[in-house]
Structure 1
Amino acid sequence: MPLYKTITVDSNTKVLIWKIEESFEELSEGITLTKHCRERVYDMKSDLHRRGFMSVRHLMAVEGYTDHDLFYDASGKPHLTDNKHISITHSFIFSAIIISTAEVGIDIEKQRAKILKIAHKFTPIEEYRTLANEDAIMRKLTMVWGAKESLYKSFARPGVSFLQHIYVEDFHLEDLYSTANVRFEDKEERYRVWFLEFEGFTMAYALLAEENKP
Structure 2
Amino acid sequence: MPLIKTITNAFNSTVYVWNIQESEAWLRSGIELNQNSINRLFTMSSELHRRGFLSIRHLLDAAGYNDHDLFYDDHGKPHLRDGRNISITHSFEYTAVIVSDVATGIDIEKQREKIKRIAIKFIGYEKEYLSQSLNEVEDLTVIWGAKESMYKSISKKGLGFKEHCKVSKFEQKDQKTTCKAVFEGNTWHYEAFFTSFEDFTLVYILPATA
Q: SS of the counterpart of 1:139?
A: helix
* Cα distance in 1 for residues equivalent to 2:103 and 2:209: 11
Match of 2:30 in 1: 30
Match of 2:102 in 1: 102
Which amino acid in 1 is paired with 2:133?
Answer: L
Q: Alignment identity in percent?
A: 48
- Residue by residue, what CA displacement relative to the aligned partner does 1:122-143 show, whole Å, maximum 9, x if unpaired? 01345312123xxx01110011
Match of 1:127 in 2: 129
* Cα distance in 2 for residues equivalent to 1:103 and 1:208: 8
TM-score by length of 2: 0.96
* Cα distance in 2 for residues equivalent to 1:187 and 1:126: 24
Match of 2:176 in 1: 177
- Residue by residue, what CA displacement relative to the aligned partner does 1:12-58 show, whole Å, maximum 9, x if unpaired? 00000000000111100011111111111110111111111110100
Q: SS of the counterpart of 2:14?
A: strand
Runs of at least 5 residues in structure 2 that lack an aligned partner in the other structure: none
Q: How many residues align?
A: 208
Runs of at least 5 residues in structure 1 that lack an aligned partner in the other structure: none
* Cα distance in 2 for residues equivalent to 1:39 and 1:19: 24
Match of 1:160 in 2: 159
TM-score by length of 1: 0.94
Which amino acid in 1 is paired with 2:132?
Answer: T
Does structure 1 conserve the Cα–Cα contact (< 8 Å) formed by 2:11 and 2:101? no
Which amino acid in 1 is paired with 2:163?
Answer: Q
Match of 1:78 in 2: 78
Which amino acid in 2 is paired with 1:10?
Answer: A
**Which runs of 4 or more aligned residues in structure 1 lie more than 4 Å from their structure 2 counterparts after TM superposition?**
none
* Cα distance in 1 for residues equivalent to 2:195 and 2:171: 13
Match of 2:149 in 1: 150
